[in-house]
Structure 1
Amino acid sequence: MLISSGLALAVIALPVLAGLAGTVLPAFGYLPALGGRTLSLEPFHDLLATPGLNDSIRLSLVTGLAAALISLGLAGAFTAAAAGTPVFERMRRLLAPLLAIPHAAAAFAFAFLIVPSGLILRFLSPWATGLQRPPDVLIVGDPAGLSLIAGLVLKETPFLILLILAALPQMPVARSRQLAASLGYGRMTGFVFLQWQPLYRQIRLGVLAVIAFSSSVIDVALILGPNLPAPLSVRLAQWMVDPDLSLRFTASAGAILQLAVTLAAILLWVGLERVGATILGVMRERGLRLARDRIPRAVAIGLPVATASFLIAGFLALFLWCCAGFWPFPDTLPQDWTLRSWRTAWPRLGGPLATTLIAAFASAFIGMVLVVLRLATRPVGRPASVLSQGVMWLPLLLPQVGFLFGLQFLAIRTGTDGSYAALILSHLIFVLPYLMITMQDAWAAFDPRYERVATALGASRLRAFFRVRLPMMMNALLAAFAIGFAVSVGQYLSTVLIGAGRLPTLTTEAVALAAGDNRRTIAVYALLQTLPPLILFAIAAILPALLWRNRRAMAA
């Protein structure tokens, strides 16, 4: 029982710790395979002498904090305004397809909307803007990283709403709303004063994970971020795959710097938490009620809905481009339609598509088995320990470059780089935390009396588990599998480094195309990258209704 319970934690902790060790040693000059046999600070000297390093650090720091702050503000305001309303329930159903979209595909969809010749200006030109040609304005890749921040917000807001949805059932929302209304508080003010602080404590690790991801993201930064200079994580990834092997030492030193930058962002966030708690306390003590909050509530509901609509509109732009023939600006729609882009790209899609599906199915399936084993062997009613929770969140709280560089060295030394086994393991490190986040609340909510009835009728505990618990949890299991599959499909850096360029996926191929300007081919790859997760989410939504069509409570 102890071995099966700790297996999931070992799959995460051992590679991450080994990867950290494999990053730290080269950062101090020790890598015998490349001639580094003594400890030295020379890699850090070379790193600090890199032109534009301060700008790269600033971009990473600001991006991480701004994306987390805006995403949390949108998710929290939406919850305060809409919790318990039909709009909230509709957003709950919309979350699945939004979460299925890989970050790179969402970044491409966003870029196809906002570029100077994008869909937005095409709809507004020339009747509203007077433009007959695209303006010469740098929108995607702007030096301040604003488009990068906006692209991250589009994806991180649904993730935070999902975390809030998981935490809300443990909160007395309806009772608190009635109490606040009886004292004259507005709906949003009452929620913020009574519910926000205990709710935030439950989602705090998720918020820190958003900061860690946003401050060290690579694929989205390659698509939407500036490149002169690029964010720190992008420059590190470029050094790591550079033909000049001496840059591996500098890249490892940079990975340590990236860890420090992400830690600094988290510490600044902790300071912002204290400032926010102080402001909230002052507002509460002054009796601020804001009973007439109809306009703020409309804005708080409208903004997250608008971000979801924006993302959907971006995929409409991708679809138009992948089927477009001649499409001059400012025409709203293409003048003719063709499947030439699909025919051109199709011969090269077989390998990346197969690798994507194999890695995603394998990592999601193995992850589901490990998570179910861990949850099944945990005593009923006992929450996860702080240590196990910390291990589960470790890959999400650490920048990927901080341990994947070392994991690549380990794969090279063992001769497993470029193998499916190593690729699946590298994906599994990131799939497991999301599976655990998705499954643990549903598992805890299951009424154990169903299994007791089965055992009282003569079934063994194992038979009751497979014939009672698992079928009754089919909805949660399928949803978790779909989320794990989507997480694997979206993996970029782990695929590039551990796959050693020999196992390309749809994600790595799509990001590689970002450096070019063939929008039609990019649209094909971005849509294909999104299609498998969406199909899995559709199956997860439809299959339980088909399996339990004669059992109403099971299909719900």
Structure 2
Amino acid sequence: MIIQPSFFTRWVSLSPRILISLLLVPVAAGLLGLILPAFGWLPALGENTINLRGFAAFFHTPGWTNMLGLSFFTSFISTLFAVILSILILGNYFNSRLLGHIQRILGPILVIPHAAAAIAIGFLIAPSGLIMRLFSPWLSGAELPPDVLLPNDPYGLSIILGLTLKELPFILLMALAAMQQNEIKQLINRQYKMALSLGYYPFTAFCKAVLPSLYPFMRLPIYAILAYSSASIEIPLILGPNSPPTLAVAVMQWFNDVDLSLRIKASAGALIQIALTLSVLLTWRLLEQCVKRFGFSTFTNGRRQYGDLCWKILTHTTTFLVLFFIVLALLGLVLWSFAGFWPFPNAYPDQLVSLHWNSALQQLPQTITNTVLVGITATAIALFFTLFALEAEQQHQTQLGSAASLMVYLPLLVPNVAFLFGIVWVKELLGVKAVFSAVVLGHLLFVMPYMFLSLAISYRKLDLRYAKVAASLGCSPFKVFYAVKLPQLLPPMLFSCALGLAVSFGQYLPTLLLGGGRINTLTTEAVAIASGASRRLSAVYVIIQILLPVVGFILAWLIPKLIFRPRQ
């Protein structure tokens, strides 16, 4: 089949609109499908009148204030900790090789699914977990596991720990990606060197000269993780309290209850979840304005240092503890997956067995197949539309406007617990029976923004001189696209695909809701097993869940080397 240049050009022009529609229409339909049941209109249950019965039922639920407070507190505090740690690491390791090493270490941590991270942390901080075993009995004096409610503590401290460890790599990598853009890199380097030449200490120079220019590029990722953490399901479900849970977990439980009348209360709760997320975002925005207003004198007073040595020691200590905690969590998973009899307080199992791996591998082939098929399909669709949307930017020599960019990231900013329930309701209303396609669409809503974000930087930095030479030699726009641009973009394309697969592999709620329990993936199985099955079997599932995205990134690193080695 020969693609005519005119067809290619028209398709490229339409691609940004199609991409935005793929993201906007399901979210908008989901919100519409949420609002109507929230106000009592659910014909499937014989409810045909508009009323506030769902909201009344919600506000009569015991502990609803605790749900709201727990969701707000854990999301805001975890993001605050992650941002502060990111600023400490960026400021103290700015322009040093150590920052690159930290980036390479934290990069793989980013792709660990939230459910896997939560289970690993739970194994670590539990009363009989690896941390307590390492310090018992020689330091703690405990011969038996202490009577401490960890995880699942009522104050959400376990949730805060889990969210912080997952948010920190994302904020760091987004900040580093912004710092690598040529214009920003030149600007902040000039400002940093100027501050150092004026006698400012390194960390103070970063906070006063670099951070004000860098933070605007960190704002959208921070808002995204605020929105996500306020409506997170996996980490609060595994690490959080159960009576009451966070609001998002409670909404999911009501929606999946056998009593279908609870769906009205679940829809009302999902609308309240949107209001809660907005309140978290507005509170963060208010915090930004307060720092800007009351910190202006601090940034402009000419003081050269604010305890830089103390901040450096704190950063070294915190970075070491974070990395040590992550390594210890992964080590604990491996030990539990092979552990036979392992009494407390022994730090090492009495025997290592492969029984749990054999049992899991016999049950997992179909689950792994479902996980990979859904991930590859969603990633391929996202890559296709992302490439053409970015090509449209280059052909029209303009980037997406602020409104269009917001639409691309809309699924990350709107609580997924809200619009996914609405999509399920619309799907049932229309009588749609397709399960696999619905799950792929649900994954696509979250895969597409991340792939667009990761690939856009490389595409916009592409050297267009090669394309202009090819066009001057008579190549059609389509041939310039696939023969000149795509080979140059192969490494970032593969990295973007690996990231898309990692995002898809970690999706729990879209798979659970849109699949209706008929498509099981590693994430849904891992969460189900973590709630009551063997700790050893859970560790096996989590390790496999971690290995899948790691394999994707290894292939993304290896394939370009194999392809381009003969040319070199």
User: TM-score w.r.t. structure 2 length?
Assistant: 0.94
Partners of 1:23 and 1:405 within 8 A in 2: yes
The equivalent position to 1:198 in structure 2, one of 200, 204, 213, is: 213
Partners of 1:431 and 1:204 in 2: CA distance: 20
The equivalent position to 1:525 in structure 2, one of 535, 541, 548, is: 541
Q: CA deviation at 1:119?
A: 0.9
Q: CA deviation at 1:135?
A: 0.7
Look up the equivalent residue of 2:189 and give its one-letter code.
Answer: A
| 1:299 aligned partner | 314
Q: CA deviation at 1:417?
A: 5.0
| 1:395 aligned partner | 411
| 1:209 aligned partner | 224
Partners of 1:418 and 1:498 within 8 A in 2: no
Look up the equivalent residue of 2:73 and give its one-letter code.
Answer: V
Partners of 1:423 and 1:217 in 2: CA distance: 19
- The C-alpha deviation readout for 1:435-475, integer Å capped at 9, x for no partner, is 11111111111111111122233433322221221111111
The equivalent position to 2:63 in structure 1, one of 52, 64, 78, is: 52
Q: CA deviation at 1:529?
A: 1.1
Q: CA deviation at 1:517?
A: 4.8
The count of aligned residue pairs is 552
Structure 2 runs not aligned, ≥5 long = 1-11
**Aligned: 1:109 with 2:109:** no
Partners of 2:188 and 2:209 within 8 A in 1: no
Partners of 1:313 and 1:543 in 2: CA distance: 31
**Aligned: 1:252 with 2:267:** yes
Q: CA deviation at 1:279?
A: 3.6
Structure 1 runs not aligned, ≥5 long = none
Partners of 2:318 and 2:475 in 1: CA distance: 52
Partners of 1:87 and 1:60 in 2: CA distance: 35
Partners of 1:242 and 1:342 in 2: CA distance: 33
- SS in structure 1 of the partner of residue 387 of structure 2: helix
Instruction: Pick which of 531-540 and 92-101 moved more.
Output: 92-101
Partners of 2:528 and 2:413 in 1: CA distance: 26
- SS in structure 1 of the partner of residue 364 of structure 2: helix
Partners of 2:347 and 2:81 in 1: CA distance: 31
Partners of 1:156 and 1:210 within 8 A in 2: yes
| 2:77 aligned partner | 66
- SS in structure 2 of the partner of residue 378 of structure 1: helix
- The C-alpha deviation readout for 1:8-66, integer Å capped at 9, x for no partner, is 11110000000000000000001111111111111111110000000000000111111
The equivalent position to 2:276 in structure 1, one of 261, 269, 293, is: 261
Relative to structure 1, is the Cα distance of residues 256 and 397 closer, same or farther in structure 2, using a 3 angstrom cutoff?
Answer: same
- The C-alpha deviation readout for 1:305-351, integer Å capped at 9, x for no partner, is 53244223211111111111011111111111111112222332122
| 1:141 aligned partner | 152
Partners of 2:81 and 2:263 in 1: CA distance: 35
Look up the equivalent residue of 1:518 and give its one-letter code.
Answer: S
| 1:488 aligned partner | 504
| 1:446 aligned partner | 462
Partners of 1:327 and 1:333 within 8 A in 2: yes
Instruction: Pick which of 342-351 and 511-520 moved more.
Output: 342-351
* Counterparts of residues 75-86 of structure 1 (less than 5 Å): 75-86=86-97
- SS in structure 2 of the partner of residue 195 of structure 1: helix
Partners of 2:480 and 2:537 in 1: CA distance: 51
**Aligned: 1:476 with 2:492:** yes
Partners of 1:304 and 1:395 in 2: CA distance: 31
The equivalent position to 1:33 in structure 2, one of 41, 44, 60, is: 44
Partners of 2:294 and 2:304 in 1: CA distance: 15
Partners of 1:255 and 1:41 in 2: CA distance: 14
Look up the equivalent residue of 1:535 and give its one-letter code.
Answer: V
Partners of 1:167 and 1:202 within 8 A in 2: yes
Partners of 2:295 and 2:557 in 1: CA distance: 40
Partners of 1:187 and 1:291 within 8 A in 2: no
The equivalent position to 2:374 in structure 1, one of 347, 359, 373, is: 359
Partners of 1:417 and 1:149 in 2: CA distance: 39
Instruction: Pick which of 307-316 and 356-365 moved more.
Output: 307-316
Look up the equivalent residue of 1:50 and give its one-letter code.
Answer: T
Relative to structure 1, is the Cα distance of residues 291 and 217 closer, same or farther in structure 2, using a 3 angstrom cutoff?
Answer: closer
Q: CA deviation at 1:365?
A: 1.0
Partners of 1:322 and 1:341 within 8 A in 2: yes
Instruction: Pick which of 137-146 and 127-136 moved more.
Output: 127-136
Partners of 1:548 and 1:291 in 2: CA distance: 49
Partners of 2:74 and 2:230 within 8 A in 1: yes
Partners of 1:232 and 1:258 within 8 A in 2: yes
- The C-alpha deviation readout for 1:378-417, integer Å capped at 9, x for no partner, is 2454221111111011111111111011101122233435
Q: CA deviation at 1:302?
A: 4.4
- The C-alpha deviation readout for 1:159-211, integer Å capped at 9, x for no partner, is 00111012113242322221111111111111111121221111211111111
Partners of 1:443 and 1:364 in 2: CA distance: 18
Partners of 2:434 and 2:354 in 1: CA distance: 33
| 2:5 aligned partner | none
| 1:89 aligned partner | 100
| 1:289 aligned partner | 304
- The C-alpha deviation readout for 1:66-123, integer Å capped at 9, x for no partner, is 1111111111221111121101111222233112210110111111111111111111
**Aligned: 1:507 with 2:518:** no
User: TM-score w.r.t. structure 1 length?
Assistant: 0.96
Instruction: Pick which of 317-326 and 412-421 moved more.
Output: 412-421
Partners of 1:417 and 1:500 within 8 A in 2: no
